[in-house]
Amino acid sequence: MCGDVTNWDEEAYRESILREREIQTRTVFRTVWAPSFNPNPECVVVASSDGSIASYSISSCVSKHPIGFCSARAQRLLPAEPEGFLEGHDGPAYDVKFYGNGEDSLLLSCGDDGKIKGWRWKEFTESEVPITFQALNVGHLVFQSWSLTLSFDVFAGNHMKPVLDLINPQDKGPWGALSPIPENNAIAVDPQGGSIFSAAGDSYAYCWDVEKGEIKMVFKGHTDYLHCILSRASSSQIITGSEDGTARIWDCKSGKCIKVIDPLKDKKLKGLISCVSCIALDASESWLACGSGQSLSVWNLTASECISSISNGASIQDVVFDNNQILAVGADPVLNRFDMNGMILSQIQCAPQSAFSVSLHPSGVTAIGGYGGLVDVISQFGSHLCTFRSHCV
């Protein structure tokens, strides 16, 4: 039996296919836990490849999304309803951080447009989305022909302006020509020093004065773009990781590089070249973890030596310390837990087929974000509390 194609809308059908493909390929580049006096995790903030910054209530996601995990089911999840939402950047948003604590803190983000933006967290949590995203989901399923227009109107309704809006400088070339604005791939903060540090695509790290909105210092020495950056406030230093395969420790007072760490120096001699894609400091700021390709190295910064090197089955894309253990995620759907000597302690399957972010709450709960716009929240005991898909613009 043939269907009635009298009212068939080819353009709407094509738009729905493109929209679905966009949703499936969207990526969460960063997850971060919101500051709270509650010992239990309340809210996670997500930066996505569509430039959006969104916050999600963990209790709401746990109640609305089935507890348990199935990778096939995760791929079919409808987007969760965010508590707060902003179109933060033109192009992908790569990182989010909090500057300060509590309600007075700033929510910072950076992205492919070369900007660092900051919003007051209290205002962000109190901002209202004009139309509920649950209603939008229904509209998208039933009325495909106007779903894209409705999406634009909904998201454009939140006109919350940033209180901080910084943009990377451009180099001047011959006849006054300006270079493209370099992207910001990561940010770090030093609230006591009133500084924000950015890892940029022009191979430089920048130190920004939060009060004045000006660059205080430029750190030059890497030969390729930067992937990651950390503030080592106890020593007035920052640490950067680059596509050039090295991590560097910088003195924030002089702007000079005081140490070059080359995790794969011996392997490079054999023809294997890889970037430093992620770095992490422990709570004492004495131990550094470096992810380089499929290798994870652990460094004693006091002694300036590598104490262990771990080979992983897939590229490592983010790491974080959990006391004297290390959590790592990467280009496979697994949350790895290692001890300091490189012994694998556990491996937990997670929803994103490729994970770009792992963040640890003080309670031990982790949030993992990655490909497909998926966020997987795992308890301190290794069970899956909830899995949800972030909403898109």
- What integer pLDDT is reported at residue 70 of this predicted model? 54
Closest C-alpha to 131, from 114, 113, 149, 116: 149
- Which residues on adjacent β-strands are paired with residue 218? 206
End-to-end CA distance of the chain: 38
- What integer pLDDT is reported at residue 101 of this predicted model? 83
Strands (E), 123-267: 164-167, 184-190, 195-200, 205-209, 214-219, 226-232, 237-242, 247-251, 257-261
Buried b (16+ CB within 10 A) or exposed e, 246-259: bbbbbebeeeebee
Q: How many Cβ atoms from other residues are within 10 Å of residue 68's Cβ?
A: 11
Cβ 326 vs Cβ 319: under 8 Å: yes
Helix (H) or strand (E) holding 14: helix 10-25
- What integer pLDDT is reported at residue 313 of this predicted model? 86
Assign 166 to helix, strand or coil: strand
- What integer pLDDT is reported at residue 142 of this predicted model? 30
pTM of structure? 0.85
- What integer pLDDT is reported at residue 5 of this predicted model? 65
Cβ 391 vs Cβ 133: under 8 Å: yes
Strands (E), 88-225: 93-99, 106-111, 115-120, 164-167, 184-190, 195-200, 205-209, 214-219
pLDDT tens for each residue of the chain, 393 residues long: 456 667 777 777 777 666 666 666 789 999 999 998 888 899 999 999 999 999 999 999 988 765 555 554 555 677 888 999 999 999 999 999 999 887 789 999 999 999 999 999 999 988 765 433 433 443 333 322 223 333 333 334 456 889 999 999 988 878 878 889 999 999 999 999 999 999 999 999 999 999 999 999 999 999 999 999 999 999 999 999 999 999 999 999 999 999 999 987 766 544 566 899 999 999 999 999 999 999 999 999 999 999 999 888 899 999 999 999 999 999 999 999 999 998 999 999 999 999 999 999 999 999 999 999 999 999 999 999 999 998 876
330 to 99, 246, 324: CA distances (angstroms)? 27, 19, 20
Write out the two tokens for 186. 């990561």
- What integer pLDDT is reported at residue 129 of this predicted model? 56
Nearest-10 crossing angle of helices 147-156, 10-25: 50
Write out the two tokens for 129. 């989305």
